[in-house]
């Protein structure tokens, strides 16, 4: 009997597994085939949890409406100050109107909030608002000045032979001249000239009025935001009546004067009653002589006057950019710029006093065609950002300098070359480095960049393609929220996570890139952080905040005046092409590891040949019971809030590549992604 032929067993297809258990952010810049499997090429409205896993963001809710677009927000102690339209509000109550309807900047010096809107600089002390000019410091610009003239008595002795007697100063007016008490014939010609020589030993007494040189010493500078100033005089004869100021053409405002009494205290005199004023000549004349100073060498007359200095107040009032910077990197002084009449110049106040802006406290940072965009503080240095900078020197570094007399200046120490800042509100300090928005993305300056010779470095590689394509990038508004740098532009928020960094070959000159996220449907005009929450104001006067309650289902919807709307959030995985892209793939099982929520619902979708198709919905089994989110729909008694694993048997056959997406697009539903896995086989060559 012939033997049986053994053909052996049919070969079985080996199964492979794709597993992702570690996630990063989004990547909108790389080619689809180059996106790391940990990242997503499309994932709106997601953010990282404490471990970097993607979770759905919470929604935003209305805090208040101010009727006009939001131009600024300032946290001042326990107060929230909002600039809306042309009005200013404190804790919801209107406190001022008549501002510019444009973005404003604010700085706190001591117990004063100063706001610069490009129209009129304001100060707020927690109780009331007033223009900065109304409380302006009145400087004493000159001291130890001389009165216009004084009376002096000169005593001489005749020798019986001389007819000419020299004088130290030629008198302006002779009051009297006597020889031994009797009148004598004389003339004043370079001295006293007698017709006949006075007798030997005779007493010659000349009483005359002399003109004084103004003299005086500089004490303080004129204040740019004030039209008033003071000058002080020293009267040492008790005969002075007329005093001329350093400025002519005084305004019609009240002139004030004080005269020291015998006890060394200044007593106020009254215009018209005690003295008259020649405003054209800048001269004050007392009706009676001022007594000699009771304290030797100390000024005993103080005069305060006013004059309109053309364009002085506007130098500060028209500024809308500011930063607090002082010696050692402290924040006791305000720098301002943004005046359209002086785009390359900035000004600063004295330390600790925002009501005194000396007229010599300014710096011309850049030339014609250039302008100051904004500021940042880097260590002990002030960085000033320039647009259209010559030779690419777009960042000016200044430090404070204290001379031997105690005078402070802020000389330029160096320039940094690199990308130019484009947005006046595009500066954020994050994680020991300063970030700023440019036409090529978000760039950073580190302390090492300032002390060394490095260029600025890009930090936004993963969103550069999308961010740099945004229109009117110069209108973007940036803010710090927790560990994020947030960029608001055109209804979107781009988030750069300083807690997650990586190195990318696409930016070899940068020491690292921040992981990034994108939120959509957010009409933010201005941004700020308050009590740990992210707030924003929009064009319609709404002030909104993002909920910090991740547990409540009610946190997952966005405010809308027509009724709160759902948040469309999903996580798209990079296209899956197996081990050999040219072979047919078949998928039989998909598994998801989810972070459960009280109200959880996700949809798994897949894409083949460019079309998305629903695969499976996961809802009730991935929820847990919570009284705060109680609802009969999707009700469960489960108290298990640990992560859940959900699997789905599928049949996706004969494809070369396949995409997957996990979405959560309903109101009051959320999800978090901890893991994703696909079991598949490969067989045969792919044929289209």
Model pLDDT, residue 423: 97
**Nearest C-alpha neighbor of 599 from the set 672, 677, 675, 517:** 672
Using an 8 Å Cβ cutoff, are 604 and 662 in contact?
yes
Alpha-carbon distance values, 366 to 312, 475, 661 (Å): 20, 22, 51
The CA-CA-CA angle for residues 512, 516, 520, to 5°, reads 160
Cα separation, 177 vs 193, in Å, equals 12
Q: Could you give the CA distance from residue 23 to residue 38 in angstroms, rounded to a whole number?
A: 4
Asked whether the beta carbons of 595 and 664 are under 8 A apart, the reply is no
Both tokens of 415, joined, read 């320039």
For the record, the structure tokens of 198 come out as: 């006075």
Tokens for 160, please give them: 């019986």
Can you give the pLDDT at residue 359? 96
pLDDT value of residue 629: 45
Long-range contacts of 126-133 (CB under 8 A, 24+ apart): 126/76, 126/77, 126/79, 128/95, 129/88, 129/95, 129/96, 132/225, 132/316, 132/317, 132/354, 132/355, 133/225, 133/226, 133/313, 133/317
Low-confidence ranges of the chain (pLDDT < 50): 1, 7-11, 624-632, 635-639
Residues 25 and 516: their CA atoms lie apart, in Å, by 5
Among 89, 39, 51, residue whose Cα is nearest residue 68: 89
Backbone angles phi, psi at 316, to 5 degrees: -95, -45
* Contact of 82 with 537, CB cutoff 8 Å: yes
- CA-to-CA separations, 414 to 51, 366, 541, in angstroms, rounded: 41, 13, 42
Q: Which residue in this structure is represented by tokens 């001291």?
A: 143
DSSP for 121-189, please give it: -EEE-SS-EEEGGGG----EEEEEEPPSEEEEEEEEE--SS--EE--SS--SEEEEEEETTEE--EEES
CB 321 within 8 A of CB 336: yes
**CA 523, CA 605: separation in Å to the nearest integer?**
29
Structural domains of the chain, with CATH: 15-34+568-685 (2.60.120), 149-211 (no CATH), 228-306 (2.60.40)
Other beta carbons within 10 Å of 215:
11
Single out the residue of 477, 502, 655 nearest to residue 576, CA to CA: 655
Q: How many CA atoms does the CB half-sphere of 224 hold within 13 Å?
A: 23
With a CB cutoff of 8 Å and minimum separation 6, the contacts of 272 are none
Write out the two tokens for 618. 């996961």
The two structure tokens encoding residue 551 = 């547990």
Question: What local confidence, expressed as pLDDT, does residue 580 receive?
Answer: 76
Please, which residues have CB within 8 angstroms of residue 469's CB and are 6 or more apart in sequence? none
Taking a C-beta distance cutoff of 8 angstroms, is the pair 501, 485 a contact?
no
Q: Using DSSP, state whether 112 is helix, strand or coil.
A: strand
Maximum C-alpha span of the chain = 178
Copy the structure tokens of residue 272: 């018209």
CA 279 to CA 95: how far, in whole Å?
Answer: 38
Least Cα distance to 245 among 133, 150, 143, 313 occurs for 143
Long-range contact list for 431-434, CB < 8 A, 24+ apart?
A: 431/483, 431/498, 434/376, 434/377, 434/378, 434/383
- Beta pairing, strands 228-233 & 140-145: parallel
pLDDT recorded at residue 455: 60
Angle made by CA atoms 522, 525, 529, in degrees to the nearest 5: 80
182 phi-psi bin (left φ>0, alpha ψ -120 to 50, beta other): beta
Tokens 């004043």 -> residue: 188
Task: Give dist(CA 111, CA 108) in Å, integer.
Answer: 7
Residue 143: closest CA among 72, 197, 218, 70: 218
Task: Tokens for 44, please give them.
Answer: 């709106």
DSSP 355: T
Q: 484: which residues sit within 8 A by CB, 6+ positions away?
A: 495, 496, 497, 498
**pLDDT score at 298:** 95
């Amino acid at each position: 009997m012939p033997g049986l032929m053994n053909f052996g067993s049919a070969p079985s297809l080996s199964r492979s597994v794709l597993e992702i258990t570690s996630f990063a952010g989004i990547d909108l810049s790389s080619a689809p085939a180059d996106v790391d499997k940990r990242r997503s090429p499309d994932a709106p409205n997601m953010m990282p949890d404490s471990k970097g896993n993607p979770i759905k963001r919470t929604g935003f809710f209305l805090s208040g409406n101010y009727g006009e677009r939001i131009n600024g927000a300032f946290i001042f102690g326990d107060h929230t100050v909002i600039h809306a339209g042309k009005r200013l509000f404190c804790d919801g109550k209107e406190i001022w109107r008549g501002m510019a309807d444009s973005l404003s900047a604010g700085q706190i010096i001591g117990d004063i909030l100063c706001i610069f809107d490009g129209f009129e600089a304001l100060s707020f002390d927690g109780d009331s608002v007033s223009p900065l000019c109304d409380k302006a410091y009145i400087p004493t610009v000159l001291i130890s000045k001389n009165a216009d003239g004084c009376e002096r008595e000169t005593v001489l002795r005749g020798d019986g032979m001389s007819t000419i007697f020299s004088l130290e100063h030629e008198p302006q007016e002779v009051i009297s001249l006597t020889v031994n008490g009797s009148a004598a014939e004389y003339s004043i010609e370079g001295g006293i000239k007698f017709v006949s020589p006075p007798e030997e030993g005779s007493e010659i007494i000349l009483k005359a009025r002399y003109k004084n040189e103004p003299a005086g010493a500089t004490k303080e500078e004129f204040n740019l935001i004030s039209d008033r100033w003071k000058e002080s005089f020293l009267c040492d004869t008790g005969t002075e009546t007329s005093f001329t100021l350093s400025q002519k053409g005084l305004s019609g405002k009240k002139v004030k004067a004080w005269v020291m009494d015998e006890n060394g205290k200044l007593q106020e005199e009254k215009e018209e009653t005690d003295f008259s004023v020649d405003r054209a000549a800048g001269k004050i004349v007392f009706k009676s002589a001022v007594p000699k100073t009771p304290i030797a060498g100390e000024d005993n007359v103080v005069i305060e006057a006013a004059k309109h200095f053309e364009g002085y107040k506007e130098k500060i009032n028209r500024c809308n950019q500011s930063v607090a910077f002082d010696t050692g990197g402290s924040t006791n002084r305000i720098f301002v710029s943004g005046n359209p009449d002086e785009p390359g110049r900035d000004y600063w106040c004295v330390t600790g006093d925002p009501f005194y802006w000396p007229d010599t406290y300014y710096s011309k940072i850049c030339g014609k065609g250039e302008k100051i965009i904004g500021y940042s503080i880097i260590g002990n240095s002030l960085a000033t950002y320039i647009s259209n900078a010559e030779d690419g020197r777009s960042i000016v570094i200044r430090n404070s300098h204290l001379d031997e007399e105690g005078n402070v200046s802020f000389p330029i120490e160096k320039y940094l070359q690199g990308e130019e800042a484009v947005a006046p509100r595009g500066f954020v300090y994050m994680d020991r480095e300063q970030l700023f928005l440019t036409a090529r993305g978000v760039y950073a300056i580190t302390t090492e960049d300032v002390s060394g010779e490095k260029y600025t470095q890009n930090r936004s590689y993963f969103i550069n393609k999308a961010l740099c394509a945004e229109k009117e990038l110069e209108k973007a508004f940036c803010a710090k929220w927790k560990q994020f740098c947030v960029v608001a532009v055109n209804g979107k928020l781009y988030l750069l996570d300083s807690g997650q960094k990586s190195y990318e070959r696409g930016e070899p000159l940068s020491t690292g890139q921040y992981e990034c996220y994108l939120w959509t449907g957010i009409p933010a005009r201005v941004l700020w952080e308050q009590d740990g929450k992210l707030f924003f104001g929009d064009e319609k006067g709404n002030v909104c905040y993002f909920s910090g309650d991740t547990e409540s289902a009610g946190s997952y919807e966005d405010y809308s005046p027509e009724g709160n709307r759902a948040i469309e959030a999903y996580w798209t995985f990079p296209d899956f092409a197996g081990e050999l892209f040219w072979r047919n793939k078949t998928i039989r099982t998909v598994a998801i590891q989810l972070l459960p929520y009280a109200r959880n619902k996700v949809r798994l979708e897949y894409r083949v040949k460019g079309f998305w198709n629903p695969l499976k919905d996961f809802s009730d089994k991935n929820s847990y019971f919570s009284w705060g989110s109680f609802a009969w729909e999707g009700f469960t008694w489960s108290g298990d809030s640990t992560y859940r694993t959900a699997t789905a048997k599928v049949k996706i056959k004969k494809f070369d590549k396949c995409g997957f997406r996990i979405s959560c697009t309903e109101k009051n539903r959320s999800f978090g992604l901890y893991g994703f896995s696909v079991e598949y086989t490969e067989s045969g060559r792919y044929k289209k």
